[in-house]
Amino acid sequence: MAKDTFFHKKLTLNAGGKLIDLSTPKVMGIINLTPDSFYADSRQPAVADALRQAEKMLADGATFIDLGAYSSRPGADDISVQEETDRLLPVVEAIVNSFPDALLSIDTFRAPVAEAAVKAGAHIINDISGGQLDADMFATVARLQVPYILMHMKGDPKTMNSLAQYDDVFNEVLDYFTARYQQLKTLGVNDVILDPGFGFAKKPEHGYALLNRLEEFDQLGLPMLVGVSRKKMIYSLLGGTAADALNGTTVLNTIALTKGANILRVHDVKEAIQAVKLTGYLHNNI
């Protein structure tokens, strides 16, 4: 919740015909429909388990549920479009039927998966590759007219760790956002959310450099999503594993909120909502 800057930042999002006001930051809960995502407690490959998790996250205050059926952890195995779709669609349909007001984000870099999910009732496409791994993604999002989360990554999940080298990580990510957003705008995509891609082709020091300058991305005038939940940039400094990183996650989420983050993508919704409420009180009342 950075103070007003010279730049005019878009703070509304049209998702599923609903206008979402991002002037108060929102929380996106993560549900992984995979057997091998990096944080074990986020894995909910069974439809009933995913539905139960979605119910809890919505009750805890999540505005969005992010469903991923392809593991993007470093070195993860590739799966086919068919397998990704088969994992994903039953859960989309179950949540749409049980919680018709829930806003579903689909974590995929494949245009056919994105299209199938939107046709099944999903509302947002969250693409870790920023359109680089499927040449049809940008045109597909433009045709579907859904919000698009533009994340920065180099390479793919198998190769990204070897590509974590930068002369100036902030300016490289800024240049990437500028060029990719121009392409999306030209195609007529109306709602674009930026995601610096913490942990994707980035060492911990790169992540902290981006977090430190997060508010400078406001010059693009777009809402910002931050996804640091339980990532290596936390536990590589503090010790332990992803399972031990909730407190560190809350600390970094709080910093991100003070620097203008509009959406927190998290495994732990209740704690993120508390961070939003407390930083909001500080911003608005002190």
Q: Which pLDDT score is estimated for 40?
A: 53
Cβ-based neighbours of 201, under 8 Å, separated by 6 or more: 153, 154, 155, 160, 161, 163, 164
The four Cα atoms 160, 166, 172, 173 give a dihedral, to 10 degrees, of 40
Give the DSSP letter of residue 107: E
Q: 265 catalytic, yes or no?
A: yes
Span of 3-7, 44-48, 139-143, 222-226 with lowest mean pLDDT = 3-7
CA of residue 123 relative to chain centroid, distance? 14
Cβ-based neighbours of 282, under 8 Å, separated by 6 or more: none
Task: Reply yes or no on whether the pLDDT at 37 is more than 60.
Answer: no
Structure tokens at 133: 């791994």
Q: Which pLDDT score is estimated for 7?
A: 62
Mean pLDDT over 81-109 rounds to 96
Mean pLDDT of the chain: 92
* Active-site residue (options: 9, 26, 259, 265): 265
Q: Which pLDDT score is estimated for 39?
A: 52
131: left (phi over 0), alpha (psi -120 to 50) or beta: left
pLDDT band at residue 2 under the 50/70/90 scheme:
very low
What 3-state class would DSSP assign to 74? coil
Task: Reply yes or no on whether the pLDDT at 5 is more than 70.
Answer: no
Name the percent of the chain lying above pLDDT 70. Answer: 92
14, 83, 122, 144 from 116: Cα distances, Å:
20, 13, 9, 11
Q: How far apart are CA 190 and CA 79, in angstroms?
A: 31
Supply φ then ψ for residue 261, to 5 degrees. Answer: -60, 140
Q: 56 catalytic, yes or no?
A: no
* Active-site residue (options: 180, 231, 232, 259): 231
Domains of the chain, first to last? 12-285 (3.20.20.20)
Q: Which pLDDT score is estimated for 215?
A: 97
Q: Which pLDDT score is estimated for 74?
A: 67
Q: Which pLDDT score is estimated for 42?
A: 53
Q: Which residue has the tokens 């190769």?
A: 159
Task: Reply yes or no on whether the pLDDT at 160 is more than 50.
Answer: yes
C-alpha neighbours within 13 Å on the C-beta side of residue 234: 20
